[in-house]
Amino acid sequence: MAADARLFALSLRLILGGFYILVILILCINADENWDKDDDPISTVEVSAVLGKSASLPCDIEPTTRGDGVYMVLWFRGNSSKPIYSIDVRGRSFNRALNWSDEMVRPRARFVTVSQPAALILEAIALHDEGIYRCRVDFRKSPTRNFQVNLTVINPPSEIMMYVSLERGYIDTIVGPYQVGKEFGISCEVRGGKPPPIITWFVNGVEVNGRIKENNQNIIVSVLTVPQLRREHLNTTYKCRATNTKLVPPLEKSVVLEVYLKPLSVTIMSKPSILISENTYNLTCEVTGSHPRAKVTWLEGNVEFESGRTINNGNTSVVYSTLEFSPRPEDHGKQLKCRGENPKLNNTSLEDLFHLNVVFPPKVQLEIGNPLNAQNIKEEDDVYFECKVRANPEYHRITWKHNEIILVQNASAGIVMSSQNLVLQKINRENGGNYTCLASNDRGETSSTVVPLRVQFAPVCKTKEVTIIGASIDESVKIRCEVEADPNEVDFVWEFNNSGENFELAPAKFDGNNGTTSEFIYTPMSERDYGALTCWGRNAIGKQKTPCVYQVIPAVKPSPLNNCTIKASVNQSIETLEIECTPGYDGGLRQDFRLEAYEAHTNIIRANVSSIIPEAPIFRIPVADLLPATHFYLIVYAKNAKGRSDVSHLEDIMLRDSGKQTGNN
């Protein structure tokens, strides 16, 4: 009833103009009375709205009885009796209802009925919009209904930041790096917010409790502490969340923790027990647990290993380093190490190692015993060689070679071999030449380089025999004395001997010395000058032991040739007779050999030839020169400056078409 009266009064106000003031006053008092009476049953709906956004203040306008309908909806602010918004449906359909709002909410307020319940929407909420709102719904038939809404304006927090205790500056996305074992505290600072925001922490997505360290007017700080960092803390995500309403998403900030980790293990994955030199091997080293990625180095002893190629792969937590290398004999017995370290941390390296067992063919080096004297070795000295061998496995044989011929132990010849040494006792010039030693093991045999041995010796005559020289009285003959000697600067002494005399020849008579030869021009003046000329050489090593001897005898005609044989031969379709004889004494002078061929019956000469070489009586006659005659005899003889020897006859030589003929003397 009272509601009806009020509505009536409002209508009057609209209609009656000037008169309304009094009436309203009465009605207002009335209305206040009504509120007080209905106070208790009105429940309050709590509504929150975010600053700047819109608020929806609910007000149920559904009539409880059928056929009823809304007359008017009025909104009040607090306990004011002045409406801030109204809808008047009287006499019109709902969607053509009159609406009105006061200037405080005018552009921002609208009443929506499509929602259940209907609601007053207030846009662009400001802080001063907070407070109690009342809604009064008048129906045509049903009693008036009142609702109360308590609007709270929420201001979300404005800023969220993280920092590490005792460190300057705020963190962006990564915190650290830190080391295992250290304490770690992270703070979350939130600015702004009404009501004060709640701060929650998530470690890898799991909610944990922080500790509020500071809670000022405008700033709240929450701290999370890890007393001792462990390896597992690497990559931990710390998320701080601040919120004071569900209406807008919370403010959040995440950081990832970076922790530097020492390597946990270093392992050379297979350690070959035997390495064959010059073969190629791949050795792989595995380093685990380092963060950031481990640095892997290979070392021989304590020196970086350089004679190989390394390839690194693996992922961030397991690093594989493969060393591809060819072991050398020098590597045998050395330590090969793999070192893994965290490049960012000091003193964190771990190592694995093994000893290289490199098998290789012997390395051989031949040295002459006393190198100081090596240039000055002479006959009668003892010489000592050492064969230096390095081999794995150990060598099992050493072989010595002299001028490519294998030497054998021979104490009587002064050749003595012990384990790695060769001793040559009382050497002579035959011991000079090239020496090598060879050593062998399972991997093969190796020869040393050649070591030449120079044996210096006193002059020795080149020809062992006595040389016979024929000379007539007053004839000058040139006698050449040739010796071998090292060094080859030789001084010569000539002597003359016959049964009665023995004297040195005056230097004036020398034709000259030339290193290892001396030429002497000798002229026997009488029978007494025939005898032995001897020549002695002397060099830095000593005097010649036995002289070269030249027997000067009176020159005579040569002796005849004898023991001749005849052969027929065909050479490139040329038939030839070859006659070979034995020379006789040359009479002390140079001799030439001659052959003459005569036709048997006519004694006509058919051929007259010299020997084919000056030193020996060998003759060749083309058969064509003799034909067409078939019956011959031959004569052969030697001649020198003193004349011709007696001739030797070869009788009854018969030529057949291509037969062989043999004659005799």
Ligand X SMILES: *[C@@H]1O[C@H](CO)[C@@H](O)[C@H](O)[C@H]1NC(C)=O
Which positions touch ligand X (CB under 6 A)? 44, 78-79, 97, 99, 110-111, 132, 150, 152, 234-235, 280, 282, 315-318, 324, 345-347, 403, 408, 410, 412-413, 433-434, 450, 452, 514, 517, 562-563, 582
251-260 and 502-504 as β-strands: parallel, antiparallel, unpaired?
A: unpaired
- Minimum separation from the CB atom of position 574 to ligand X (A): 26
Angle at 590 (CA atoms; ends 588, 595), nearest 5 degrees: 120
Is the Cβ–Cβ distance between 75 and 84 less than 8 Å? yes
502 or 664, CB closer to ligand X? Answer: 664
Kindly tell me which of 563 and 662 has the beta carbon lying closer to ligand X: 563
Q: Nearest distance from residue 425's CB to ligand X, in Å?
A: 12
In the complex, minimum distance from the CB of residue 601 to ligand X, in angstroms, rounded to a whole number? 30
**Integer Cα distance of 588 and 651 in angstroms:** 30
Contact by Cβ (8 Å): 538, 493: yes
* Closest to ligand X by CB, 272 or 622: 272
Q: Of the two residues 45 and 600, which places its CB atom closer to ligand X in the complex?
A: 45
Strands 548-554 and 467-471, bridge-based pairing = parallel
Provide the sign of the torsion angle of the four alpha carbons 407, 409, 415, 421, taken in this order: positive
- Looking at residue 395, what DSSP letter applies? P
Q: Measured from the CB of residue 172, what is the shortest distance to ligand X in angstroms?
A: 15
Which of 222/431 has CB closer to ligand X?
Answer: 431
Q: How far is the CB of 253 from ligand X (least distance, A)?
A: 17
- Residue 270 or 514: the one with the smaller Cβ distance to ligand X is 514
Q: Least separation, in Å, of the C-beta of 309 and ligand X?
A: 8
Q: How far is the CB of 513 from ligand X (least distance, A)?
A: 9
Q: How far apart are CA 122 and CA 107, in angstroms?
A: 9
3-state helix, strand, coil in the chain (%, to 5): 10, 50, 40
Task: Work out how close the CB of 452 gets to ligand X at its nearest, in angstroms, rounded to a whole number.
Answer: 6
For the four alpha carbons of 500, 504, 509 and 511, in that order, the dihedral sign comes to: positive
CB of 113 to ligand X, least distance (A): 8
Q: Measured between alpha carbons, how far is residue 142 from residues 61, 68, 87, 137, 502 in Å?
A: 11, 7, 17, 10, 181
We find the least distance from the C-beta atom of residue 523 to ligand X, in angstroms, to be 22
How far is it, in rounded angstroms, from Cα 222 to Cα 200? 8
Cis peptide bond prior to 196, omega within 30° of 0: no
* Minimum CB distance to ligand X smaller for 158 or for 434: 434
Instruction: Give the SS3 label for residue 617.
Output: coil
Q: How far is the CB of 61 from ligand X (least distance, A)?
A: 12
Is 2 or 413 the residue whose CB approaches ligand X more closely?
413
Q: How far is CA 166 from the centre of its chain?
A: 47
For residue 418, give both structure tokens. 């012990």
Q: How many residues does the chain have?
A: 665
Helix (H, G, I), strand (E, B) or coil at 591: coil
Nearer to ligand X, 31 or 398 (CB): 31
Q: Kindly list the distances between the CA atom of residue 247 and the CA atoms of 48, 113, 133, 244, 574, in Å, as whole numbers in the listed order.
A: 8, 22, 20, 9, 133
Q: In terms of CB distance, is 31 or 655 closer to ligand X?
A: 31
| Residue 476 identity | S
Q: How far apart are CA 229 and CA 183, in angstroms?
A: 6
* Residue 253 or 262 with smaller CB distance to ligand X: 262
Q: Which residues pair with 76 in a beta bridge?
A: 83, 134
Element (H, E) at 358: strand 358-368
By C-beta, is 333 or 452 nearer to ligand X? 452
Q: Which is nearest to 556 in space by CA: 466, 644, 476, 615?
A: 644
Which residue, 571 or 582, is less far from ligand X as judged by CB?
Answer: 582
Burial class (CB in 10 A: 0-12, 13-18, 19+), 162: buried
In this structure, the dihedral spanned by the alpha carbons of residues 259, 263, 264 and 270, taken in order and rounded to 10 degrees, is: 150
Specify the residue, 153 or 190, whose C-beta has the smaller distance to ligand X. Answer: 153
CB of 407 to ligand X, least distance (A): 10
What gap in Å lies between CA 146 and CA 139, rounded to an integer? 12
Under 8 Å between Cβ of 537 and 492: yes
Contact call for residues 184 and 178 (beta carbons, < 8 A): yes
Instruction: Kindly state the smallest distance separating residue 291's Cβ from ligand X, in Å.
Output: 6
- Give Cα separations from 489 to 42, 464, 492, 521 (angstroms): 146, 21, 10, 21
Minimum distance from CB of 415 to ligand X (Å)?
8
Residue in the structure block whose two tokens are 């030339």: 514
